[in-house]
Structure 1
Amino acid sequence: MIKIAVVDDDLNEQQKLSDMFTRLGGEIGIDLSVVTFSDRESFLSGYDKSYAMLCLDIELNTEDDSDNGIELAKKIRQVDSDVIIIFITNLAQMAIKGYEVRAFDFIVKPVNYGDFAMKMRNALGFYQGHRSESFKVQTEHGFVMISSDDLYYIEVNGHYIYYHTTNQVYKQKGTLKEIEVKISELPFKRCNNCYLINLKHVSGVDKDDVIVGGDRLKISRPKKREFLQAIAEYMGGKTL
């Protein structure tokens, strides 16, 4: 699930954006959870870093006219440097101010679904490609926390899972299918039935081999097209 906040004092715009996110989530097969806010106070009072994306109305009405969507974004950036910010605005020229807070993009009202879907797909692709998570791996002597950023690939051999990281290889009992479910929102893809590859660490493809972490791993014929497509999409290119 990917959590998104919409902050807009126009209830009709809130509903319109929520409906668009629901439609988009169905099209791309991702559970998008949208939380709406009508004012900055209610949004800021309960803010936490669980949000992947914020859609902020630049012309947000407040008691202080200077405290609009841009000022709200500045407050957010003080506590969250990573969240994706997309501005919704009536005037395209207003979006230039978004660079002050490292806004990812902007959408001009009235919002049409084609423009919305294109920009949100880009934003979600960026989020999924650059996010990281830490998870616990049971070892013979206890457990270790591994960051997905440090993980080259995951291998299954018999009843054991091997985590090939930048430091060493960790081993625990399990199945690749179980792990695949846990990391479904991270940029990992199977190149065959034995390996889940972290697309962040792919350094090349040579015929039927993928090169990751200095290792050459076989790409199976049934999975080759889908795997190469995943690499191309992750890198922002076209179908290989």
Structure 2
Amino acid sequence: MLNIALVENDSDDVKAFCEIADVFFNQQKIPYEITVFNSAESFLETYNYQYQIIFMDIELDGMNGMDAAHKLREIDSNVILIFLTNLAHYAIAGYEVNALDYILKPLSQTAFSLKMPKVVALVKQQANKNITIVSKGEMHTFSTDKIYFVEILSHRLYYHTMDGVFDTRGTISEIETTLYPYNFRRCNNSYLVNLKYVISIEGNDVKVGPNILPISRPKKKTFINEVTNYLGGQL
């Protein structure tokens, strides 16, 4: 599922965008969901790395799109950002906030369809990150997609992967920052879980792939909310 945020306060432009996007994604057979925000403030208040693409109007009421983009980059430096604007010279300043592209208004199916294949390809590229560690004198590289969870024990990080367990020195807080954009969340102070492999939660335990891990009481509510959000409310 491709999660898209549209930050746009013009109802006509929202309608046009959703219709154009629907044509493109249905033609490409890409499942997607668009969440619409009518202000930059409401978008930033709820942002938690949950979108792969953000389309943002520059001329918003209240906080404008460029100021919002600067605040967004303080939170997330990697998410794909595309500006929507009536004036191209506004969008050119997007390099300051690492905007991938801009689409001029009035929105058209042709312009959207020409730009989106590059965007979709980049989303796929960003879906996983390679982690390289040195374990027992040997270098190992594996995708985040192959990690069930990371465990901290006696100042060592243990990566529980599909290819085995690999350990190296490190801190759980440091690797948590690295893996957070790839949907890893803590179920307690010792385990950082890949939400992709959460199969079930029963009582104070979570099944992650073939593993059963304890959920701490202080983190239980937040962790369950994170899993529920990731699964789109299917838990």
Q: Is the TM-score greater than 0.5?
A: yes
Counterpart amino acid of residue 106 in structure 2: E
Gaps of 5+ in 1: 61-68, 85-126
- How far residue 74 of structure 1 moved from its aligned partner, in angstroms, is 3.0
The whole-number CA distance in structure 1 between the counterparts of 2:177 and 2:218 is 21
Contact 1:139 1:172 in 2 (8 A): yes
The amino acid across from 1:190 in the alignment is R
Q: Distance in 2 between matches of 1:143 and 1:199?
A: 26
Residues 82 and 102 of structure 2 are in contact (CA less than 8 Å); yes or no, is this contact kept in structure 1? no
Identity percentage over the alignment? 28
Distance 2:171 2:67 in 1: 37
- Alignment partner for residue 65 of structure 2, among 17, 23, 38? 17
When Rg is computed on C-alpha atoms for both structures, the one with the higher figure is: 1
**Cα distance change on mapping 1:5 and 1:155 into 2, 3 Å:** closer
Counterpart in the other structure of 1:72: 111
TM-score by length of 2: 0.58
Q: Which residue of 1 aligns with 2:193?
A: 197
- Partner Cα separation in structure 1 for residue 116 and residue 76 of structure 2: 25
For 2:103, the equivalent position in structure 1 comes to 56
The residue matched to 1:185 in structure 2 has which SS?
A: helix
Q: What whole-Å deviation, never above 9, does each CA across 1:64-96 have from its counterpart, x for those lacking one? A: xxxxx4333333344443457xxxxxxxxxxxx
- Could you tell me how far apart the structure 2 residues matched to 1:136 and 1:19 are? 36
Query: Which one-letter code corresponds to 2:65 in the other structure?
Result: L
**TM-score, normalised with respect to structure 1:** 0.57
Match of 1:81 among 120, 123, 126: 120
- RMSD over equivalenced CA pairs, Å: 4.0
Which position in structure 2 is the counterpart of 1:186? Answer: 182
In the alignment, the residues of structure 1 paired with residue 55 and residue 198 of structure 2 have an alpha-carbon distance, to the nearest angstrom, of: 35
